[in-house]
């Protein structure tokens, strides 16, 4: 009996170790990031306003459980500003109040954005930097019976020094986590306690960079970054001495169901084309690439104001 328990324990420990080797990109954030307020007007209409404390684009869903004396309300809204007007309920009978009850939820991003799958990205390092590429598995799908995100693709770039990480294209910094110190006295198969930067691109995609030294992050939330702009430096992952950047690009999607109750949203992933010294290509597993920056790729997304900023920097 004791031997059987030991065998079971060994199997469980082995599985835990395997799980720690996998990578899952969470999109957890407080439900207080967006707040809605309602105001009744003298004409019996109702105005709904929003405010949010995070930069970037969000999709807000209004879920009305009941409404009287007004037409079927609009359900979905895209917001970019920190605050503003969202929607107005108009009374059918202007002499009576509108009665309503609603809840709301939101997702980061624009559902089903028009992404350019042929867009060429820069590798997230300084020019002429050698990096080894590995792919990361999705933990939820492999071990917790969750549906794997469509076209799942996440990268692990392996380095052997504290390289500078650079933006792969133009965007706005929507999230910075810089409160983790790294323990280099132990070896970790995987740790979720890592400093990270998230950037929203003009086409509605998001890039997530993870593995920064919390004392060497050069950007803050709300900053506009240009292609190949320095974001921060990597920090040693653990006692092994290896440095690694975990990286992925994704975007918000919705299924196109006529039944609004059955509509679901998720995040799909890109397997991008990257510029390398070997040309433009998709990255291969366990291959080492040399990064190459291209003025053509950098300038194509820049406005005149951006170009002046780049020259100044």
Between CA 132 and CA 139 the distance in angstroms is: 22
d(CA 199, CA 229): 12
Residues 6 or more apart whose Cβ sits within 8 Å of residue 30? none
Give the pair of three-digit tokens for residue 195: 């400093």
The domain 113-312 is classified under which CATH number: 2.70.70.10, 3.40.190.10, 3.90.550.10, 3.40.50.2300? Answer: 2.70.70.10
Global pTM reads 0.84
Q: How many residues does the chain have?
A: 313
Q: Any residues with CB less than 8 A from the CB of 135 and at least 6 apart, and which?
A: 153, 154, 155, 156, 285
Q: HSE, CB side, 13 Å, CA atoms: give it for residue 301.
A: 22
DSSP 8-state assignment for residue 261: G
Spell 237-261 as b/e; 16+ CB within 10 A means b.
bbeeeebbbbbbbbbbbeeeeeeee
Per-residue pLDDT of 225-276, as tens digits, reads: 999 999 999 988 766 678 899 999 999 999 865 555 556 778 999 999 999 9
Nearest CA among 232, 238, 240, 220 for reference residue 163: 232
- What are the φ and ψ backbone dihedral angles of 107, each rounded to 5 degrees? -130, 145
Residue 99: partners with Cβ closer than 8 Å, 6 or more residues away? 66, 67, 68, 69
* DSSP states of 208-265: EEEEEEEEEE---TT-EE-TT-EEEEE-B-STT--EEEEEEEEEEEE---S-GGG--E
Provide the 8-state DSSP code for 30: -
Question: Are 268 and 149 within 8 A, CB to CB?
Answer: yes
pLDDT at site 197: 98
Amino acid 199: pLDDT = 98
The ranges of the chain annotated as CATH 2.70.70.10 are 113-312
The pLDDT of residue 114 is 93
Q: Is the dihedral of CA 136, 140, 142, 147 positive or negative?
A: negative
- Tokens 């007004």 locate to 70
Give the SS3 label for residue 125. Answer: strand
So what's the pLDDT on residue 144? 62
What pLDDT was estimated at residue 52? 96
For position 9, what pLDDT does the model report?
Answer: 44
Token output for 249: 């690009």
Task: Collapse the DSSP code of 14 into the 3-class scheme (helix H, G, I; strand E, B; otherwise coil) and give the result.
Answer: helix
Residues of the chain with pLDDT under 70: 1-32, 139-145, 183-192, 238-240, 256-263, 313
- In this prediction, residue 184 carries a pLDDT of 67
């Amino acid at each position: 009996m004791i031997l059987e328990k030991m065998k079971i324990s060994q199997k469980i420990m082995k599985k835990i170790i395997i799980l720690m080797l996998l990578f899952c990109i969470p999109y957890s954030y407080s439900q207080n990031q967006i707040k809605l307020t309602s105001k009744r007007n003298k004409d019996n209409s109702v105005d709904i306003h929003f405010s949010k404390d995070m930069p970037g684009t969000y999709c807000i869903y209004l879920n009305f459980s009941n409404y009287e004396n007004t037409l079927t309300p609009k359900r979905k809204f895209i917001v970019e500003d920190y605050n503003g007007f969202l929607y107005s309920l108009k009374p059918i009978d202007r002499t009576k109040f509108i009665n309503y009850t609603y809840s709301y939820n939101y997702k980061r991003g624009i559902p089903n954005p028009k992404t350019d799958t042929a867009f060429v990205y820069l590798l997230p390092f300084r020019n002429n930097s050698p990096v080894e590429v590995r792919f990361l598995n999705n933990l939820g799908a492999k071990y917790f019976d969750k549906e794997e995100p469509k076209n799942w693709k996440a990268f692990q770039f392996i380095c052997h020094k504290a390289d500078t990480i650079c933006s792969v294209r133009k965007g706005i910094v929507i999230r910075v986590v810089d409160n983790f110190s790294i323990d280099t006295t132990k070896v970790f198969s995987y740790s979720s306690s890592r400093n990270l930067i998230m950037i929203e691109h003009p086409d509605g995609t998001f890039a997530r960079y993870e593995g920064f030294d919390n004392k060497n992050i050069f950007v803050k939330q709300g900053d506009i970054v240009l292609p190949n702009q320095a974001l921060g430096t990597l920090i040693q992952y653990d006692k092994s001495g290896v440095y690694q950047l975990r990286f992925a690009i994704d975007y918000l999607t919705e299924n196109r169901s006529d039944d609004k109750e059955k509509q679901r949203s998720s995040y799909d992933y890109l397997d991008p084309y990257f510029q390398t010294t070997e040309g433009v290509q998709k990255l291969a597993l366990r291959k080492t690439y040399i990064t190459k920056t291209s003025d053509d790729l950098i300038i194509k997304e820049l406005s005149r104001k951006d170009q002046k900023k780049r020259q100044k920097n």
